[in-house]
Structure 1
Amino acid sequence: MRREEYAGPVALRAMQSLASRVFPQAGWRHSGDLAWAAASAVSAPDATPTAVWSTGDTTVAWGWLESPEELTIQVDPAYPDLAGEVLAWAQRATDAARLSVTIGAHETHLTSALAAHGFVQGNDKPFFACLSRPLTDLPLLYTLPEGYRIRPQRDAADVIERAAVHRAVWNSPHITAERHAAMREVWPYRSEFDLVAFSPEGKAVAYCQGWYDEVSGVGLFEPVGTAVEHRRRGLSRAVGAALLHAFAAAGGGLATVSPRGDAGYPIPKLVYESLGFQAMSRTRTYTKAFRRSGTPAGN
């Protein structure tokens, strides 16, 4: 068994290889979700350390401190004892007063390690619903309002438009055209799954970015958005249905998405359910407070 540590998601492909092998049976982060997280991160790489455990050429566990207070973890169920090693590494690698770990409720091979390391499950935090649907018996493609059209990104002008609508939807000024262009170079990005809805004036007003993992045959929706002034026109459903058909045409067997599952932000989940997605799991967050020098535990 070998452990390698990095400043940031340097070994992203190694981490993604585990997601390709075991998602969604173990883990709630698709390989494309990891690519999106790495490409859209606002923290400097040295503030987001990672560690990867492997045997031979096979990745069997990894941990990623996406912030000093937030650990993402994935462990091959065949190596459950590594969960404790990942947690121990993360606690050494952060100087935060508390650390949170979010896992899928179905990842029972991680819960005993979390308890053994003093992490406590909380119930007061928004959670994500892990939804999926087979890529068969797909909904028909929707008829768009007059003048609107959906197509994949094609060129630099589309990249500028796509980044602009993302910023408008999510108030994310760090998603620049340059950053979006760089993300397009990260596996498993493919432009035919990055669908954009254009208004009659030719402006990008909605999008549904898909990530298709050809290893697992699983496609992911992440991220998705519609400009406020163009909502309630069926664009989200239309671009989502188009992405399902694109995944199926590529040979995919399953589509997944993880919207908020709590009552605080219900609309996206309802849209996905209208496209045939159903619950397969949900996330649960575990937290541990530390006694650091000058910082009482629990503060």
Structure 2
Amino acid sequence: MSGGYRRSDGDPAALRELAGRLWSWSSRWHPGELTWLCAEHPDARLAHWRHAGRVVAWAWARGTRLDLQLDPAHRGLLDELLAWSGAGTVRVLDAETWLVDELLARGLQRRDDGPFFVHLRRPLDDLPPATPLPAGYALRPADAAARAAVHSAAFSTTMSEAAYREVMRGPAYRAELDALIVGPDGSPAAAALAWLDGRSGVAVLEPVGVHPEHRRRGLATAAALAVLRAARELGARDARVCARGDDGYPAPRAAYEALGFRAYARNLRLVRP
């Protein structure tokens, strides 16, 4: 490969390495959440690029969609990332203005129709007090079977116990930041998982979910607050979460805003004409 760049396939650790080095509030990716997303989408195609031994870019392709991160000092690699993926749609953060400009200059066009996600943040020094759980509900230490079950039900997907065990074995996972709420009959009702980046002091919520049979009881708020408090005790100063920003599914964003989160950026969809 020209220019001293070397491409390799796979390796989520390379994604986390670059995300941690480039993290700022103008970055789309937090290193912790990449652990979760790679586990949630094991069928995605991954590649990363190194220069002088350091990760400078990665690309993550699912079908015709591309997500990426690129060190702006190596923006000349963008054409190779696009060619590798063959994707017709690229998703970026609007705060990554230089990357948006580079993609527009290559003929991609912004599309604002359809769902999109907003990024919300809040400091952790003034978290609201805990509210009592409904009668019969209780916080429990997370276990893989229960966490996989509540996630599958909450998001209408399929996550196996084995897949969640892999998440728990990951280097960024901390059991203190994994909250499980069970119902009166002991069945998994809600859960929240946070990922703490010690370098930046930012914790990201990914994911927070409630079993459909246990919704509208304040369980998502209770689970999220539990892990945010735990993250603060571990040294986190701020938190970030993503939620749908369009009107098609407004409830999660409203719940996070009620917790004091405020939107500061949104994802953009850029497509080849």
Say whether the fold is shared (TM-score over 0.5).
yes
| Residues 1:60 and 2:44 are matched in the alignment | no
SS at match of 1:151: strand
2:205 is matched with which residue? Answer: 221
Do the aligned residues in 2 keep the contact of 1:122 with 1:285 (CA within 8 Å)? yes
Q: Structure 2 CA distance, aligned partners of 1:55 and 1:122?
A: 37
Hey, what does 1:17 align to over in structure 2?
17
Q: Which of 60, 75, 81 is the matching residue for 1:83?
A: 75
1:115 equivalent to 2:115? Answer no
Which SS does the other structure have where 1:259 is aligned?
strand
Give the letter for the 1:140 counterpart.
P
Q: Percent identical across equivalent pairs?
A: 35
Give the 3 Å change call, closer, same or farther, for CA 64–84 of structure 1 in structure 2: farther
TM-aligned CA deviation for residue 25 of structure 1? 2.9
1:84-125 deviations in Å (ceiling 9; x for gaps)? 413x12332244xx5211111111121221022211111113
Alpha-carbon separation, structure 1, partners of 2:230 and 2:51: 34
In structure 2, the residue matched to 1:297 is none
Q: How far has the Cα of 1:274 moved from its partner?
A: 0.9
1:236 corresponds to which of 217, 220, 225:
220
- 1:68–1:229 distance in 2 versus 1, CA, 3 Å: closer
Q: 1:83 to 1:285 in 2, by over 3 A?
A: farther
The answer for the alignment partner of 2:190 in structure 1 is 206
Residue of structure 1 aligned with 2:152, choices 162, 167, 189: 167
TM-score (norm 2): 0.93
Matched, 1:4 2:1: no
Partners of 1:222 and 1:13 in 2: CA distance: 18
Whether 1:177 aligns to 2:161 is yes
Choose from 58, 69, 73 the match for 2:68.
Answer: 73
The question of whether the paired residues in 2 share the 8 Å contact of 1:211 and 1:220 is answered with: yes
Cα RMSD after superposing both structures = 1.8
In the alignment, is residue 126 of structure 1 matched against residue 115 of structure 2?
Answer: yes
Q: Distance in 2 between matches of 1:109 and 1:265?
A: 30
**Which stretch of structure 1 is more off in the superposition, 278-287 or 182-191?**
182-191
Counterparts in 2 of 1:19 and 1:148: CA distance versus 1, 3 Å: same
Which residue does 1:37 correspond to in 2? 37
1:49 equivalenced with 2:38 (yes/no): no
Cα drift, residue 59 of structure 1: 3.0
Counterpart CA distance in 2 for 1:262 and 1:222 is 19
- Of 121, 133, 140 in structure 2, the residue corresponding to residue 151 of structure 1 is 140
From the superposition, tell whether residues 151 and 218 of structure 1 become closer, same or farther in structure 2 (CA, over 3 Å).
Answer: farther
Deviation at 1:231, TM superposition (A): 0.9
Supply the AA of the counterpart residue of 2:118.
A
User: 1:54–1:272: structure 2 CA closer, same or farther, 3 Å change rule?
Assistant: farther
TM-score, L = length of structure 1: 0.85
Offset of residue 269 of structure 1: 0.5
Runs of 5+ consecutive residues of structure 2 not aligned to the other structure: none
Between the aligned partners of 1:190 and 1:220, the Cα distance in structure 2 is 13
> Using the alignment, how far apart are the partners of 2:49 and 2:237 within structure 1?
28
For residues 42 and 26 of structure 1, the distance between their equivalents in structure 2, rounded to whole angstroms, comes to 27
Q: Partners of 1:38 and 1:187 in 2: how far apart?
A: 13
Note the alpha carbon deviations across 1:60-90, whole angstroms, 9 max, x for none: 332222x14111122234x1xx33413x123
Structure 1 84/72 Cα, relative in aligned 2: closer, same or farther at 3 Å? farther
Please say if residues 204 and 239 of structure 2, whose CA atoms lie closer than 8 Å, have aligned partners that are also in contact. yes
- Aligned counterpart, 1:267: 251
Give the Å deviation of 1:244: 1.2
Letter in 2 for 1:199: G
Alpha-carbon separation, structure 1, partners of 2:175 and 2:4: 35
